Amino acid sequence: MKDYYEILGIDITATQEQIKKAFRVNAVRYHPDKNSGDTEFTQKFIEVKEAFDVLIDTTLKKEYDLEYKCAFGKQDTVQNVQVKQQKQESAKKQYKTEEEFRFNPFKPFYSSYDRDQQETAQIPPQQTPWGDKLNENVDFFMFPKSIGKIIGGYSSLYKGVKAISPKQQFISVLKTLLIGIPIAFGISLVIYIIGSQGQNENSLDPFNFSLGAFFVSLTVILIFLFSIKSGENKFEHICYFIGVNGFAYYKCQDTRDNIVSKSEINFNDITDMISRSEVRKLNFEYSNTMFQFLFINTKTGKYVFEGNGVYYDKNGDPNKYGYPDYWVCKEAEKYWTVYLLDNMENVLEENGYLEFNIFSFEKNLFIPYIRIGIGFITFLKGEESVKYKFNEIKKMYTKSANLFIEHQNYEKKIFFFKSGNQDSIPLINLGNRQFFYKALELLLGYKID
């Protein structure tokens, strides 16, 4: 029999509020995003959820408590002594496992100790942020200093790769021309012959027309070949890191030491994060997907980091190595959400709620919109603010990129007439959207897929 009280770190006399708080703390501690799918910690997360589901249900708790008292009674029987010893050994093993993870720089799991460490060890990561093992020849040409323990990283540069010298560039271009000119000449000659034969006797100047077509096609082909070769010779690389307390993104050009762009962002310098994407179509066929990520400090009004561009994948999962501008932001959003989860209890104890803002892209402005506390959500409307307690919510559903919440008093009447309270959240404009989903689940018990 599993000891659910031990799993949550509470005793049998714990109140409903204490059970809920213990669940939140442990769910965040063993959250899958914090250990990259490590089986031991994922199993621990599942046990925490299992314990909560039983102890929060009054009927199931009564049934469990009867079995618990029989299995873990205080009388010092031989069996109970053995059970206590097993629990002590299990606790020691758990502690040892977490300590090994904490002090191993290459393990993705991190603890509260890691959260407090802002300095970054100058040790190359062994895996990407999404868990792929890195080639040992990957060259990280620059390292961050203050994003905490590195979870993963990626670089497009390999050791030993250098920019091509001017002399090598000249030789490379010369080879391209020596090979390309005969090919381009042959193709253009065919175009010239076909063009000459296609002209009738009444044409103004069939010779000049065909000759013009010849030189135009020759020029176009040579430019095309030259542009391809120039692209091959270009030395431009990126590397990025995702850490416990932030992320970093660098670009070098011509040489590995010539850093043309560098961004190192600590999560303590961010208050809100906005992400959005737009699928574009041409003649009803998929064309591309536009994306935008904004990391903002609403206290200073500054954009701390912005990532935007397009990718080409109609399933919404572009190649992880082909779109670094997208993936560095996507992974940063994931660990920014975990950062907010780790600080959730402190904010709740200080304010009694979590506040979420709506961002207006047109006005470039954040507006306080909702507050979520333990068992309630409030829509901020000045004096007319509306509060929904978790047991007063009639329905919660998503429709057209909006989340709708209906109060028990809400009713639809004939035609367009409605009564009661109904509110909606424009999810595209919601700051810290992923954290909002987690908070909604942990504090109100509603999960959005």
Report the distance separating Cα 369 and Cα 263, nearest Å.
30
CATH of the domain at 55: 1.10.287.110
Determine the Cα–Cα distance for residues 98 and 268; give it in Å rounded to an integer. Answer: 25
* Domain C-terminal end among 310, 341, 372: 341
Angle subtended at Cα 170 by Cα 167 and Cα 174, rounded to the nearest 5 degrees:
140
Is 157 contained in some domain? yes
Residue 37 lies in a domain: yes
Asked if residue 134 belongs to a domain, the reply is yes
Q: What is the DSSP string of 103-165?
A: H-TT-S---HHHHH---------SB-TTSPBPPTTB------SSS-SEEEEEES-BTT--PPP
Kindly state whether residues 333 and 323 are assigned to the same domain: yes
> CA 425, 373, 419 angle in degrees (round to 5)?
50
pLDDT of residue 204: 44
Question: What is the residue-level pLDDT of the chain in tens, covering all 449 positions?
Answer: 788 998 999 988 999 989 999 999 888 888 888 776 677 778 888 999 999 999 999 999 999 998 888 877 655 555 555 555 665 666 666 666 666 666 566 666 677 788 888 999 999 999 999 889 999 999 999 999 999 999 999 999 999 888 765 555 556 556 665 665 676 556 656 655 665 565 555 444 444 545 555 555 556 555 555 555 544 557 899 999 999 999 999 999 988 899 999 999 999 999 999 999 999 999 889 999 999 999 999 988 889 999 999 999 988 889 999 999 999 999 999 999 999 999 999 999 999 999 999 998 888 889 999 999 999 999 998 888 999 998 899 999 999 889 999 999 998 877 667 788 999 999 999 999 999 999 999 998 888 76
Q: How far apart are CA 164 and CA 203, in angstroms?
A: 50
**In-domain check, residue 201:** yes
Do 327 and 212 belong to one domain?
no
What count of residues does the chain have? 449
Going by C-alpha positions, the residue among 388, 283, 293, 273 that lies closest to residue 340 is 273
Same-domain pairing of 146 and 247: yes
Q: How far is CA 355 from the centre of its chain?
A: 21
> What is the 8-class DSSP label of residue 431?
T
The one-letter amino acid at 17:
E
User: Is residue 449 included in any domain, yes or no?
Assistant: no
Instruction: Supply the CATH number for residue 413's domain.
Output: 2.30.29
**Could you tell me if 100 and 92 are in contact, meaning their C-beta atoms sit under 8 angstroms apart?**
no
Query: How many Å separate Cα 252 from the centre of its chain?
Result: 24
Q: What pLDDT score does 34 carry?
A: 79
Two structure tokens written together for 155:
């670089």
CB count, 10 Å around CB of 86?
11
Q: Are residues 171 and 124 in the same domain?
A: no
Residues 184 and 242 in one domain: no
CA triplet 296, 300, 305: central angle to 5 degrees? 30
Q: Dihedral sign for Cα 387, 389, 394, 399, please.
A: positive
Parent domain of 301:
112-161+236-341
374 in the same domain as 226: no
Residues 195 and 210 in one domain: yes
Neighbouring CB atoms inside 10 A of 11's CB total 9
Considering the domain architecture, whether residues 138 and 74 belong to the same structural domain is answered as no
Residue 138 lies inside a defined structural domain of this protein: yes
Whether 152 and 78 share a structural domain: no
Domain boundary among 61, 78, 103: 103
Nearest to 401 by CA among 275, 240, 238, 307: 275
Whether residues 355 and 433 fall in one domain: yes
Look at residues 323, 341, 359 and tell me which one is the last residue of a structural domain.
341
Report the C-alpha gap between 34 and 334 in whole angstroms. 10
Residue at 174 is within a domain: yes
Residues 6+ away with beta carbon under 8 Å from 34: 41, 108, 109, 110, 338
DSSP result, 34-81: GTTT-HHHHHHHHHHHHHHHHHTSHHHHHHHHHHHHHHS-SS--HHHH
| 64 and 24 fall within a common domain | yes
Same domain, 363 and 314: no
CA pair distance 246, 339, nearest whole angstrom: 9
Cβ neighbours for 268, distance < 8 A, ≥ 6 positions apart: 118, 245, 246
What is the distance, to the nearest Å, from the Cα of residue 13 to the centroid of all Cα atoms in its chain? 39
Quote the number of domains for the chain. 4
**Taking a C-beta distance cutoff of 8 angstroms, is the pair 151, 129 a contact?**
yes
Say if 170 falls within a structural domain: yes
DSSP assigned state of 375: T
Which pLDDT value is given to residue 68? 85
Tell me the C-alpha distance between 342 and 352, whole Å.
16
